[in-house]
Amino acid sequence: MGDFYTKYEYAKKMLETELEILIHSFEEKHGYTPVEHVKSRLKSMTSMKKKLEEKGYEFTKENMEKHMNDIIGVRVVVSFLSDVYDIVSLISHSPNIIVKERKDYIANPKETGYTSYHLIVLVPVYLENMVEYVQAEIQVRTVAMDFWASLDHKIRYKFHESIPEEVKREMEEYSKDIQELDKKMYYLNQIMSKYQ
């Protein structure tokens, strides 16, 4: 499994570097950076094994590549709602990243109220005498969405996916509050832009 994992480490570095360049060029062009922070991780072998077993698959390289989109995970956290779509556009137009799939959970939130924009991308890894495209997941969200996603994850972990109805209802309500806050912050940003 060593070579397999090394390939993903290379792909993670390639993706981190490409995102850093894209964000820096955006900042130079527009005079500000919309990004609060970028966080990336590589799923551990233990975590991959557990996820495959939960899905009913044997722990093999082939199954990892076929059934897991998020061996590499990158989260880009931005200030305002409009920044999410600016960053998604930036990534989509990069000549070094191929967007394979899009999931707009902002336009279509999950039932718990989770919101974020997910991209499944292919990243080129230059190996000896060949180029291989490695899959990764990029999540783009606002600070408010990131706060909500963190709570959503903790609640799901605590209840092992079978969340009581009362908790689900509260989560949905609080999610609406978070979405409303993002709209207000976007409006504030529009007002501020008049004075720049």
The tens digit of pLDDT for each residue in 10-42 reads 999 999 999 999 999 999 999 889 999 999 999
Q: Per mean pLDDT, which range of 35-49, 87-101, 123-137, 165-179 is the poorest?
A: 165-179
Task: Over range 132-142, report the average pLDDT.
Answer: 95
Percent share of the chain, pLDDT over 70: 98
Q: What does the pLDDT read at residue 196?
A: 67
Contacts with 175 (C-beta within 8 Å, 6 or more apart), sequence order: 109, 112, 113, 114, 115, 148
Mean pLDDT of the chain: 89
Q: What does the pLDDT read at residue 162?
A: 80
Q: Is it the case that residue 161 has pLDDT exceeding 80? A: no
Contacts with 1 (C-beta within 8 Å, 6 or more apart), sequence order: 45, 61
**Gap between the Cα atoms of 57 and 55, Å rounded:** 6
Q: Is it the case that residue 1 has pLDDT exceeding 70? A: no
Q: What is the CATH number of domain 2-193?
A: 3.30.460.10
pTM to 2 decimals?
A: 0.88
Q: Is it the case that residue 160 has pLDDT exceeding 80? A: no
Count of CB atoms situated within 10 Å of the CB of 182:
22
